[in-house]
Amino acid sequence: MCSGCDAKQRCPIRRNVETINQNEETVGERVGDIYRRLDAYGRRMTMRQIAAHLSFSLTGGLSCRQVRQDPTTALQCVFSETFFGHGTTLRHQAVDALSCLRQMADLHFGIAASPKFDQQLHEGKLENAWDYPAPLSELKAYFVSRLGGSNDGTARREIRRLTYMFCTPREGYQASAEVFFDDFLQSPMLRQLRTWSAKQNLSGVEKQRFVRQVLGVLMEEYIGASVPRNKRDSLFITLRRPDEKVFQSVQIVLGKIPVDEFTIDLDAVTGLPLLKHSLTKAKLELTLPLLDYIIRKDKGELTSDLDAIHGASLEQFRSDLLERVPTSPDNINLLEIDAEGELRTHKFMPIDGGQKLVYQ
C-alpha cells in the first residue's frame, strides 16, 4: 500500500516505522527504560494501554487519508514526540493511549538540562558526539533551525527527546552519553539496575563500593549527619529526638555495626539488590526510588523527602538490626558529631544504681 502512495516521501507514519525498524535495538531499549521508570515509581499500566500508546506514538492519531490530504504533516507526529504526548493535536482520539500519557505528563521528559549535552548543542557539535539516523536529518535540521528564537525552549526539548529515542553515542562520547540518558530518565540508577539484572551479579569491587554508598546514606538517615566517605567504617544507630530537622551533636548509641558485616546481592526473583546483614539476617530491598534517593544523597545533591513507603522500609530495617544486634547493658555509649561530620564515641559506665556515670 505504501509503495504506491503519492505521499510516501512525506508520510510521518512511514518515516516512524522505517526509522524504528532501522534502529530496532536502540529504540526498544529506550522505550523499555521509560516504561521501567514509570512502573518502578508506581505508575501502573496494562498491556492494552501500552499497546494503544505505542500505536498512537507511531501515527500521532493521523490516518493515511489525512496524510495524503495535508502536506503540512511532513514535520509532524515524530515518534520521539508523540510517544511523550507532544507534536500532535489529536491526543483526544486515543483514550487508552491517554492513560500512559497521563502517567508521564508531570515528569516532563526532555525538559531537564544535561550540561554536557547542552554544551554540544550550543556549540553545534551534536553530530560529533551522536550518530543520528539518516531518515531524521530533515527533522533534526528543522528543530535546530528554531534554536535562538521564540521557540528555543521547545526546540531544545525536541532535540533532547529525538536524541534520547533514536541516537547512539560515537566513540569517545560514551561517558557523557550515560549522563545524558540518566538525566533524561530522571533516574541515576535505572540503567545501572538494568545492567545488574541482566548480568545477575555484581562484581566484588562494585559490591564493596556500593555497600559503603548505601550505608553512608543510611547513617545520614539514622543519625542526621553526613559522614565523610573515609569514615564509613561502621553503621551507627542512635536514639534521636523526634524532630529530625534539629541537628543533634551528641546522641545515645543504640547499635554499632561494622561495614564488613554487610553485603549486597541481587534477588533471584525481582532482580533488585538486597542489602543484608550477615549476622542478624536483616535485609533491605533496594527498589529503584530508594536507589535513586541513595545515589543522589551520596553525591550531595538536594533531594526531596522519601515517599512514606520507602521511609518505612528504612525504619523497618533499622528495627530489625536493633532487635538482633547484641548490646551491653553495663555501658552507655555516646556518639559525638562535629560540624565536619567527624565521629567520636564516648563510653560511660553507670554506678550507684545508675545515679552516676563514670567516663571510661
Number of H helices, E strands in the chain: 15, 10
Q: Give the per-residue pLDDT at 360.
A: 67
Q: Give the per-residue pLDDT at 325.
A: 74
Q: Give the per-residue pLDDT at 334.
A: 86
How far, in Å, CA of 77 to CA of 88, rounded? 6
First to last CA, the chain: 88
Instruction: Evaluate whether 202 touches 196 at the Cβ level (below 8 Å).
Output: yes
How far, in Å, CA of 236 to CA of 232, rounded? 10
State CA 133 to chain mean position distance: 27
**Dihedral sign for Cα atoms in the order 142, 147, 151, 155:** positive
Q: Give the per-residue pLDDT at 118.
A: 94
DSSP 271-317: --EEEEETTT--EEE--HHHHHHHHHHHTT---PPPPHHHHHHHHHH
Sequential pLDDT tens for the chain (360 residues) = 676 676 667 788 888 899 999 999 999 999 999 999 999 999 989 999 999 899 999 988 887 887 777 776 767 789 999 999 887 766 556 656 778 888 888 899 999 999 999 999 999 999 999 999 998 988 899 899 989 888 899 999 999 999 999 999 999 999 999 999 999 999 999 999 998 888 887 777 888 889 999 999 998 888 888 888 877 888 988 887 766 666 788 888 888 899 999 999 998 888 899 999 988 889 999 999 999 999 998 888 877 777 888 888 999 999 999 887 777 677 888 888 887 778 888 888 777 766 677 776
Instruction: Evaluate whether 162 touches 117 at the Cβ level (below 8 Å).
Output: no
How far, in Å, CA of 273 to CA of 193, rounded? 8
Residue indicated by cell numbers 533514536 = 166
Q: What is the dihedral of CA 305, 314, 269, 199, to 10 degrees?
A: 70
Q: Which amino acid is at 253?
A: V
Q: Where are the beta strands (DSSP E) in 197-249?
A: 234-239
Q: Give the per-residue pLDDT at 302.
A: 72
How far, in Å, CA of 70 to CA of 277, rounded? 65
Instruction: Evaluate whether 143 touches 158 at the Cβ level (below 8 Å).
Output: yes
Q: Give the per-residue pLDDT at 4.
A: 67
C-alpha pair distances (Å), 111 with each of 105, 145, 166, 222, 290 = 11, 19, 17, 34, 23
